Structure 1
Amino acid sequence: MLPMEQFRKFKNEITRFLMDYKFALDAFETKIEILKEEFQFFHDYNPIEHTKSRLKSPESILKKMYKKGCDISLEGIRSEIKDIAGMRITCSFISDIYRIADMLRAQSDLKICEVKDYIQSPKPNGYQSLHLIIEIPVYMSDRQENVCIEVQIRTIAMDFWASLEHKIYYKYNREIPSHLLQELKEASESAAALDRQMERLHKEISEIKESQMEEREEELKRISLSNQQFPIPEALVRLMSGVEET
């Protein structure tokens, strides 16, 4: 057992280390909220259904380091483990996933360190998601730390499948019966087909909405009286609005 003073110092170091990741998540969550609000305001649409963030526990970090066979030190942990802090972003449509990824790439203070696209190339068990390792600056009172967080972006269908697979995985202590593995794979294919169908519907609805907006704009340019329609001259619009012709 460590002496009390030494243990207190060790605890403070661990706490400070984890705070870096906690604050990185806080900063990233703020960015996501801003993107959601801006997108809703200008596009009358929100590509993000919900988000969930988490920090790995010291015990979980230690197990992962042992599994990797790495030396146990704070710098070693920072170097070897990139998913201490993580956020899952759930969307309605596949196109939203890549739209969000593009918005994150456009953030000048974020660095995309790694991309794993399990949508274009699903895992053998059927798992689909877009994984990003993002480096984000954290400004402390006495220093700046560049902290990595893992961001998983997936559709609702992908998230439902992953949640079910995770539950089955641990229920059977990682030894899943072969017939369940096959059914899980088939369920993944069904979820992917549903995502593609919903994407087509979403695109078609968007096109109809855009067409209706164009029709409404044309209606605004006409006056309807009884069975007659009169176009509103541009010159009259400028005259009534006080805009002089040049």
Structure 2
Amino acid sequence: MDNDDVRIELPGIPGETLSWGRMLLLYESALEVIKTKINVLNKEFVLRCGYTPIEHIKSRIKSPKSIVRKMNINHREPSIANVVRYINDIAGIRITCSFTTDIYTIAELIASQNDVKVLKVKDYIAHPKENGYMSYHMIVSVPVYLSQQVVYTKVEIQIRTIAMDFWASLEHKMYYKFDGKAPEHIRRELKECADITAFLDRKMLALNEEIQNYREPEYMPDLDEESYEEKTIEEVFGVIIEEEQIRENGDGEDKKVNS
């Protein structure tokens, strides 16, 4: 399909026409926006808490062919307006964590961003699918800044543990191998594996918490966490202000010399 062969008026983008190429640009840009936010939050978390809650991040954009196929499966005309309205996972990002507690921490950090709109949440950890699938899904909308306007664009975020990701990857391969109709005994075995995965996550979380109790306390100033963070921020701004003053004084000296 030619990326520029369809142009329509799209609700929410007044006076603009949207081509397939422009539409995909919005989703690609939205993906970059949310990836940047997540990376910054992860780095800040490391500084505050001393460990990274994220093991790795994967992202992808659906191809026009996949988008049209999904629209056909849902019996909808594959117009750009319908695509934007009914498909939530054109831009997708998957975050893999070590522990289940990290999943909810990351979800809260993302949701707390002022310019991130949480449109939908599905907690398949608290409420696993019938086949045993577990993950935390968020549909969010983030601002994409174009030259003349800001367009909020949807991104699907999946957050899961390493064990959940391993199970989901195998289940996905089997689903396509059997065209979505796996034999009963394989579905049963897969569900048992999902239960084992959930048990493993609980066991590893409990073990990690016990290990943390054995850690030698690191030296910290005699300040509570909030005061320590405020002190750190003050020091950072102090350095920035000091550098600006040095620069200004340097500019002043240069002017005297030149005069």
Instruction: Decide: shared fold, TM above 0.5.
Output: yes
Give the counterpart letter for 2:125 in structure 1.
Answer: I
Give the structure 1 partner of residue 162 of structure 2. Answer: 156
Of 22, 26, 34, the residue aligned with 2:28 is 22
Give the structure 1 partner of residue 195 of structure 2. Answer: 189
Give the structure 2 partner of residue 116 of structure 1. Answer: 122
Q: Aligned pair in 2 of structure 1 residues 168, 9: CA closer, same or farther (>3 Å)?
A: closer
1: CA distance, partners of 2:164 / 2:111: 23
Q: Aligned pair in 2 of structure 1 residues 8, 66: CA closer, same or farther (>3 Å)?
A: closer
Q: What's the TM-score once normalised by structure 1's chain length? A: 0.81
Partner secondary structure for residue 42 of structure 2: helix
Spell out the pairing of 1:212-223 with structure 2 (5 A cutoff).
212-213=216-217
Of 120, 136, 139, the residue aligned with 1:133 is 139
Partner secondary structure for residue 195 of structure 1: helix
Kindly state the Cα deviation for residue 55 of structure 1 after the two structures are TM-superposed.
0.6
1: CA distance, partners of 2:139 / 2:80: 19
Runs of 5+ in structure 1 lacking a partner?
A: 218-246
Give the structure 2 partner of residue 69 of structure 1. Answer: 75
Contact 2:4/2:21 (8 A) holds in 1: no
Of 38, 41, 58, the residue aligned with 2:64 is 58
Kindly state the Cα deviation for residue 207 of structure 1 after the two structures are TM-superposed.
2.5
Partner secondary structure for residue 19 of structure 2: helix
Kindly state the Cα deviation for residue 206 of structure 1 after the two structures are TM-superposed.
2.0
Partner secondary structure for residue 133 of structure 1: strand
Q: What's the TM-score once normalised by structure 2's chain length? A: 0.77
1:121-141 CA-to-partner distances (Å, cap 9, x unmatched) read 100000000000011010111
1:131-167 CA-to-partner distances (Å, cap 9, x unmatched) read 0001101011122111011000000000000000011
Give the counterpart letter for 2:208 in structure 1.
Answer: H
% identity of equivalent residues: 47
Kindly state the Cα deviation for residue 16 of structure 1 after the two structures are TM-superposed.
0.6
Give the counterpart letter for 1:123 in structure 2.
Answer: K
Kindly state the Cα deviation for residue 173 of structure 1 after the two structures are TM-superposed.
2.1
Kindly state the Cα deviation for residue 67 of structure 1 after the two structures are TM-superposed.
1.8
Does structure 1 residue 79 correspond to structure 2 residue 59? no
Contact 2:57/2:93 (8 A) holds in 1: yes
Partner secondary structure for residue 130 of structure 2: coil
Give the structure 1 partner of residue 106 of structure 2. Answer: 100
Partner secondary structure for residue 213 of structure 1: coil
Give the structure 1 partner of residue 207 of structure 2. Answer: 201
Kindly state the Cα deviation for residue 48 of structure 1 after the two structures are TM-superposed.
0.2
Give the structure 1 partner of residue 49 of structure 2. Answer: 43
2: CA distance, partners of 1:114 / 1:204: 35
RMSD, matched Cα: 2.1
1:206-227 CA-to-partner distances (Å, cap 9, x unmatched) read 2332xx318x78xxxxxxxxxx
Paired positions, count: 211
1:82-102 CA-to-partner distances (Å, cap 9, x unmatched) read 111000000000000000001
2: CA distance, partners of 1:138 / 1:100: 22
State the structure with more CA Rg.
Answer: 1
2: CA distance, partners of 1:37 / 1:58: 34
